[in-house]
Amino acid sequence: GGKQSSILGFFGKK
Amino acid sequence: MLESRLEQADLLKKVVEAISGLVNDCNFDCNDSGIALQAMDNSHVALVSMMLKAEAFSPYRCDRNIALGINLSSLTKVLRAAQSSDILTLKAEDAPDVVNLVFESSEKDRISEYDLKLMDIDQEHLGIPETEYAASISMPSNEFQRICKDLMNISESVSIECTKEGVKFAAAGDIGTGSVTLKQHSNVDKPEQSVEIDLSEPVALSFSLKYLVNFTKATSLASKVKLSLSNEVPLLVEYELSGGNSSYLRFYLAPKIGD
């Protein structure tokens, strides 16, 4: 279970 | 201009097949070091990163940076015309409207030529931090595919726990629970069957199986897959491409967090 996180929370925009 | 020749059209066919379930349109960024691609899925849960090094082609020529904005379902349609063992040449002008694809049969008695219209894709690139992962697992790619597909019958999520005992994939759903545990082992005769676990600290994370099963569409590209994990960061699933020139297809998957 758990809440799906977003890739944007980990990798910043260049 | 770009001119790049792949000995086996199969490589590009399989890469496109492996990522087209996640991404619709993306730029193939060409420069003198090779052809790269980075794209997220629509819901921003997964990221695909591909690098085909210049050494994977013979010859390879690209004088300046060229972005080929490609609709992957259109590319799939064109690549269907290529036999797996055909030689594939990609060509494009600087600032191109089309990419030219030529397929030559290995017997050299047939040449097929297609021009695929390009799109203008305004794509942001994400900075992927260099990460020292707490655990990395190298295992047969078909075994990873099997585990993901089997556990998807139980639940939509899988927990991956890596300790010095081994790596445990576990799912819990309405009908019950299931798990697969792999221990490190070396197979001297068939090294592609070995499971190697490199652990600096224990890791436990949960992920969506729908995405993992999607990633395993890359299984036929490489006999091994490498999973890299650290607590609270995206999982890295990596397939090596075309043997020994550090070309790769990588998938990153954001974890499920909390309960």
Least confident of B28-37, B115-124, B216-225, B242-251: B242-251
| Cβ-defined contact of A11 to B125 (cutoff 8 Å) | no
Residue of B nearest to A13 (CA): B126
Q: Which residues from chain A sit within 8 angstroms of residue B157, using beta carbons?
A: 1-2
Instruction: Say what the ipTM of the complex is.
Output: 0.95
Residue of A nearest to B252 (CA): A7
B65 Rama class: left (phi>0) / alpha (psi -120 to 50) / beta: beta
Is B42's Cβ below 8 Å from some Cβ in A? no
Q: Which residues from chain A sit within 8 angstroms of residue B43, using beta carbons?
A: 6
Average pLDDT over residues A1-14: 90
Chosen from A8, A10, A13 to mutate, greatest number of chain B CBs within 10 A: A10
Q: Which residue has the tokens 């090094």?
A: B53
Contact between residue B139 and residue B182 where contact means Cβ atoms under 8 Å apart? yes
Average pLDDT over residues B100-114: 91
Is B96's Cβ below 8 Å from some Cβ in A? no
User: How would residue B242 be classed by pLDDT, with cut points 50, 70 and 90?
Assistant: confident
The three-point CA angle B217-B181-B216 to 5° equals: 5
Return the closest-CA partner of residue B214 out of B69, B48, B50, B58: B48
